[in-house]
């Protein structure tokens, strides 16, 4: 009780920080392709301190789902591409739901299952043919447990599924993918589930740095562009990409399917040929994006619909294959220190003291370094806060 009391006193003393803390109106992608990440329980503490309440996983990791029990965090979980064939079997889909979803729902909020990732922009037509049947079977399995109104089913796409994206009002899907996308849109309409897109203005800039305006890609002041068909002005590339997807969906006869951004971000580091991958640009992109989300801003073609986004990613992931940028999309280093400043205020706990990068980091007014007795005292304070948060979370339920 003494530890709990100290935590309560500390929280009251710092109430102005918590009241004034910026609540991030975005979700975060929590990838784990790394060998140096903090434990899920410590990640839960970090996200709670930031008021982030929406998390997207790429699997259904029981360690994560268990660590976030009673935290009111809204989870999107994933079914990897390797599961598509299996999920076309109704009995196997029912078993998967029974093992990976149903046991956690009493304490952990799971609201979405993403079946597959960027299948239609790949080259495997066999997987493409499995995608919608797998989505339908998983949806039916949820329905058998009366969970289909609580957990929706969708998949995530790359922007490479677009055949045309400029101007935004002329957006269309690739003709060779129409046979897959048209029935999928019918499914989304009937199931009331969103169409997910992984959208990265960084890729467009990296491939054409001499032609693409960096300011336009980073939400910085710029002349923008006018869509000649609608006279709508676009001052950033991401919103133009979103409206191009809406236009492509409309061209297939649907105005009842919402577009959500399942991934977007900017790398803080890249290889020599990866133009624009710097901490400064990453900070500008994500910081400016957060300001727009906080203002509940819609796109020019859909101004009354706030943009719904999951930022990629929470941590740098050192084991991801590919160019250096792939390992440097994180907002945080694995030790819990921010990679760059995006203007977020508040209490950011230093997660892994044993692997602190430096002893002189200061985050949100709190020294993160572990220096003698002060470091031990800070660990006591953090543990007290963790106990207090868990106590409050359980007592309020």
Q: Is residue 190 part of a domain?
A: yes
- Looking up residue 152, the CATH number of its domain turns out to be 3.20.20.80
Q: Is residue 10 part of a domain?
A: no
263 is known as an active-site residue: yes
Which pLDDT band holds residue 342 (cuts at 50, 70, 90)?
confident
**Closest Cα partner for 114 from 180, 200, 55?**
55
Q: Is residue 186 part of a domain?
A: yes
pLDDT score for 51: 87
Q: Is residue 40 part of a domain?
A: yes
pLDDT score for 261: 98
- Residues of the domain holding 253: 23-370
The mean-pLDDT minimum among 8-22, 60-74, 261-275 falls in 8-22
- Rounded Cα gap, residues 321 and 214, in angstroms: 26
Q: What is the pTM of this model?
A: 0.83
Q: Is residue 244 part of a domain?
A: yes
Looking at the predicted structure, is the pLDDT value of residue 303 above 90? Answer: yes
Mean pLDDT of 131-138: 98
What angle (nearest 5°) sits at the alpha carbon of residue 34, between those of residues 39 and 332? 70
pLDDT score for 384: 42
- Rounded Cα gap, residues 305 and 297, in angstroms: 8
- Structure confidence by residue, pLDDT tens digits, 162-209: 999 999 999 999 999 999 999 999 999 999 999 999 999 999 999 999
Number of folded domains that form the chain: 1
Beta strands in 10-108, from DSSP E residues, in sequence order: 27-29, 54-56, 74-79
pLDDT score for 25: 67
Residues 271/251, Cβ–Cβ less than 8 Å: no
pLDDT score for 50: 85
Q: Is residue 249 part of a domain?
A: yes
Q: Is residue 31 part of a domain?
A: yes
Question: Which contiguous run of DSSP H or E holds residue 162?
Answer: strand 162-164
Q: Is residue 231 part of a domain?
A: yes
Out of 82, 118, 326, 380, the active site residue is 118
Mean pLDDT of 101-109: 95
The conformational region for residue 356 under phi > 0 = left, psi -120 to 50 = alpha, else beta, is: beta
Mean pLDDT of 207-228: 96
Out of 263, 280, 294, 380, the active site residue is 263
The residue ranking higher by pLDDT, 17 or 357, is 357
DSSP state of 159: G
The mean-pLDDT minimum among 83-97, 213-227, 360-374 falls in 360-374
294 is known as an active-site residue: no
- Rounded Cα gap, residues 116 and 123, in angstroms: 14
């Amino acid at each position: 009780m003494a530890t709990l009391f100290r935590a309560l006193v500390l929280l009251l003393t710092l109430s102005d920080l918590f009241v004034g803390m910026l609540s991030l109106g975005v979700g975060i992608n929590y990838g784990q392709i790394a060998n140096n990440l903090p434990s899920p329980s410590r990640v839960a503490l970090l996200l709670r301190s930031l008021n982030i309440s929406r998390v997207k996983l790429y699997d259904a990791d029981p360690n994560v789902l268990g660590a976030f029990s009673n935290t009111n965090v809204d989870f999107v979980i994933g079914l990897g591409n390797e599961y598509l064939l299996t999920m076309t079997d109704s009995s196997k889909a029912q078993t998967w739901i029974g093992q990976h979803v149903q046991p956690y729902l009493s304490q952990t909020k799971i609201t979405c299952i993403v079946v597959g990732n960027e299948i239609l922009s790949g080259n495997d037509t066999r997987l493409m043919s499995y995608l919608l049947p797998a989505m339908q079977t998983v949806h039916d399995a949820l329905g058998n447990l009366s969970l289909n109104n609580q957990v929706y089913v969708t998949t995530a796409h790359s922007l490479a599924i677009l055949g045309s994206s400029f101007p935004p009002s002329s957006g269309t899907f690739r003709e060779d993918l129409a046979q897959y996308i048209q029935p999928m849109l019918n499914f989304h309409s009937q199931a009331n589930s969103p169409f997910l897109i992984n959208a990265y203005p960084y890729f467009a800039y990296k491939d054409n740095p001499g032609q693409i305006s960096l300011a336009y890609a980073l939400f910085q002041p710029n002349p923008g562009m006018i869509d000649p068909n609608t006279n709508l002005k676009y001052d950033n590339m991401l919103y133009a990409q979103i409206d191009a997807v809406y236009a492509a969906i409309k061209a297939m006869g649907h105005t009842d399917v919402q577009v959500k951004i399942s991934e977007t971000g900017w790398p803080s580091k890249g290889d020599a040929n990866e133009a624009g991958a710097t901490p400064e640009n990453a900070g500008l992109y994500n910081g400016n994006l957060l300001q727009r989300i906080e203002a509940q801003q819609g796109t020019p073609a859909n101004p009354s619909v706030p943009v719904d986004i999951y930022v990629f990613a929470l941590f740098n992931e050192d084991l991801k294959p590919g160019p250096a940028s792939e390992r440097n999309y994180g907002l945080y280093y694995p030790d819990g220190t921010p990679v760059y400043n995006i203007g977020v205020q508040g209490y950011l706990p230093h997660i892994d003291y044993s692997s602190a990068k430096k002893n002189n980091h200061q985050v949100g007014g709190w020294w993160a370094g572990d220096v003698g007795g002060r470091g031990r005292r800070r660990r006591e304070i953090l543990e007290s806060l963790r106990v207090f948060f868990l106590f409050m979370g359980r007592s309020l339920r």
